[in-house]
Amino acid sequence: MGMSAAAQFHVLAVDDSLIDRMLIERLLKTSSFHVTTVDSAIKALQYLGMVEDKLKGYETPEIHQESNSLKDIPVVIMSSENVPSRINRCLEDGAEEFFLKPVQQSDVNKLKPHLLKSRSKEEEETQPINNNKRKQESSAPFNKNSYKIKI
C-alpha cells in the first residue's frame, strides 16, 4: 500500500458498546485510519499515558499532563442522545465535532480536515522535539496525529 507513518492518522475510539466499537472501527478503517478501540474513559487515559496503567478498582486516577502534545489531540464526541444543551456544552468545552449515533460514513469524512489542520499547525512549530515525543514515536504505534472519539 505504501502508506507512510506520516500520512496515516491514528484514531482512539472510546465506546462501552462492543457493537458500536466494531462499527466505528470498520468505518474508520474504510477511510484508511489506523484505529485503536477501548471500552472506557479510564482505558483511554491509560492508553494515552495520562494515568497509571495498573490501577486497582478503588484507586482514583491522577491525570498527568506532562506532554503538551496530548492536549492538542482533537476530540470528537459521539452520542445516541440528541440533547442540544449537552451537545453545545461539548463543543464549548473544546470538542471539534459532535456525531449523532449511529455514526455514518459522512461523519467520518468530516474528520480529515481537522486532522490536516492540526498537522499543519504542528509543522509550523519551531519548538525542539522533547524526549517524550521521541520515545512515543519509536515504541508505540500511537503518534501525535491522533483523534480521540468519545461517547
55 vs 87 by CB, closer to another protein: 87
Contact segment (CB under 8 A) with another protein among 40-48, 62-70, 99-107, 134-142 equals: 99-107
Report d(CA 66, CA 109) in Å as an integer.
31
Q: How far is the CB of 102 from another protein (least distance, A)?
A: 5
C-beta of 145: minimal distance to another protein in Å?
A: 24
Considering only residues 10 through 49, tell me which ones interact with another protein, judged by CB under 8 A: 17-20, 22-23, 26-27, 30
Q: Which stretch binds another protein (CB under 8 A): 58-66, 101-109, 110-118, 122-130?
A: 101-109
**109 lies in the binding site for another protein (CB under 8 A):** no
Nearest residue (CB) to another protein, 102 versus 113:
102
Helix (H, G, I), strand (E, B) or coil at 141: coil
> How many residues at the interface with another protein, by CB under 8 A?
14
The C-alpha atoms of residue 20 and residue 37 are separated, in whole angstroms, by 10
- Residue from 68, 80, 109, 130 that binds another protein (CB under 8 A)? 80
Give the SS3 label for residue 35: strand
Alpha-helical runs (H) found in the chain? 18-30, 41-47, 68-71, 84-92, 105-108, 111-124, 131-139
Asked if residue 121 lies in contact with residue 49, where contact means CB atoms within 8 angstroms, the answer is no
| SS3 labels along 47-78 | HCCCCCCCCCCCCCCCCCCCCHHHHCCCEEEE
Residues that bind another protein (CB under 8 A): 17-20, 22-23, 26-27, 30, 80, 101-102, 104-105
